[in-house]
Amino acid sequence: MSQTPVLWSFRRCPYAMRARLTILYTGVKMDLRDILLKDKPAEMTDVSPKATVPVLNTGTEVIEESRDIMLWALAQNDPHGWLDMPAEGYAMIDTNDGPFKRALDHTKYAVRFPDRDATADRAKAADVLFGLNDRLVNQPHLFGDAPKMVDTAILPFVRQFANTDRDWFNAQDWPHLIRWLTAFETSDSFKVIMVKRPIWEPGAAPSYFP
Ligand SMILES: N[C@@H](CCC(=O)N[C@@H](CS)C(=O)NCC(=O)O)C(=O)O
């Protein structure tokens, strides 16, 4: 790698969180550029007109999907075998990014969808979460004693869902899910990736991460 890869990121975006968590785990050094979604710099949209975060510019390619950024970083370094995961793990990420995320958005932004039944949308998301809880009954992570890519890919979205109504979330009968989420939210890795950085400006010095 001739130049330090540049990662465009938004601190509170769950897609960007999973990219940063993976980069932290792999230790692949980036220039991390925090932006605001309401004020995206032309330097970002010039390389990625799609204009979503995260975006990774490796110097030789521009990667515009968070899952592909995770896979790119894990291909550089995967010290504890996150990629050593059954195909089912990828299917679970598909469910998260598709039906679960849609139900989450419909729950979170219910006022924007007056024609939808918010209770039904929340129940749809909860169905997926009960499935995760079942998996976690006898193990701390989705595929056993050690986390895999899928844990990191999904957890920021479970957190986002929990934050739509913590009291309701904590009152549900999914203790293993709550334990898994709590371990994530109190982890050192989560703290590190959530450290506030100044918003990137043209000419700013590199902000190295990790
Ligand atoms: N499929 C994309 C989704 C990324 C995405 O939707 N990010 C949101 C922020 S969480 C975004 O950038 N939205 C554009 C906007 O709000 O202008 C990925 O996995 O990277």
Three-state DSSP state, 7: strand
Residues 29-67: tens digit of each pLDDT: 999 999 999 999 999 999 999 999 999 999 999 999 999
Q: What is the mean pLDDT of residues 175-179?
A: 98
Per-residue pLDDT band for 186 (boundaries 50, 70, 90) equals very high
Ligand 1 centroid to Cα of residue 97, in Å, is 11
How many whole angstroms from 16 Cα to the centroid of ligand 1? 8
Could you tell which of 7, 12, 52 is best to mutate to test the pocket of ligand 1, judged by most ligand atoms within 8 Å of the CB? Answer: 52
What integer pLDDT is reported at residue 110 of this predicted model? 87
Cis bond upstream, residue 210 (ω within 30):
yes
6-79+191-209 folds as Glutaredoxin (3.40.30)
Q: Which of 85, 82, 88, 122 minimizes the C-alpha distance to 106?
A: 122
Whether residue 10 is predicted with pLDDT greater than 70 in this model: the reply is yes
All residues at 6 or more sequence positions from 14 whose CB lies less than 8 Å from its CB, including other chains = 156, 157, 159, 160
Q: Which residue has the tokens 């004693």?
A: 145
Quick one: which of 156, 151, 152, 153 has its CA closest to 136? Answer: 151
Query: According to the model, what pLDDT value does residue 196 have?
Result: 96
Of the pLDDT bands very low, low, confident and very high (cuts 50, 70, 90), residue 26 is very high
Distance (Å) from CA 66 to ligand 1 centroid? 9
Over residues 188-207, the mean pLDDT reads: 97
Nearest to 34 by CA among 60, 50, 11, 17: 11
Q: Whose CA is nearest to atom 9 of ligand 1?
A: 13
Ligand 1 centre distance from Cα of residue 144 (Å): 30
What pLDDT, on a 0 to 100 scale, did the predictor assign at position 75? 98
Measure the CA–CA gap between 152 and 167, rounded to whole angstroms: 24
- Average pLDDT score over residue span 154-165: 97
What is the longest distance spanned by two Cα atoms in the chain?
52
Separation CA 183–CA 196 (nearest Å): 21
Residue 2's pLDDT is: 59
Q: Tell me how far apart the alpha carbons of residues 19 and 56 are, in angstroms, rounded to a whole number.
A: 9
Q: What is the mean pLDDT of residues 173-192?
A: 98
Determine the 3-state secondary structure of 201 from DSSP.
coil
Q: What is the pLDDT of residue 3?
A: 86
Where does ligand 1 bind, in terms of residues with CB under 6 Å? 10, 13, 15, 37, 52-54, 65-67
Q: Where are the domains of the chain?
A: 6-79+191-209, 87-187
The yes-or-no verdict on residue 199 having pLDDT over 70 is yes
pLDDT confidence of residue 147: 98
| CATH classification (class only), 87-187 | mainly alpha
SS3 73: helix
For 100, counting Cβ atoms within 10 Å of its Cβ (0-12 exposed, 13-18 middle, 19+ buried), the class is buried
The residue contributing the CA closest to ligand 1 atom 5 is 52
Is pLDDT at 17 greater than 90 in this prediction?
yes
**Mean pLDDT for the stretch of residues 99-127:** 94
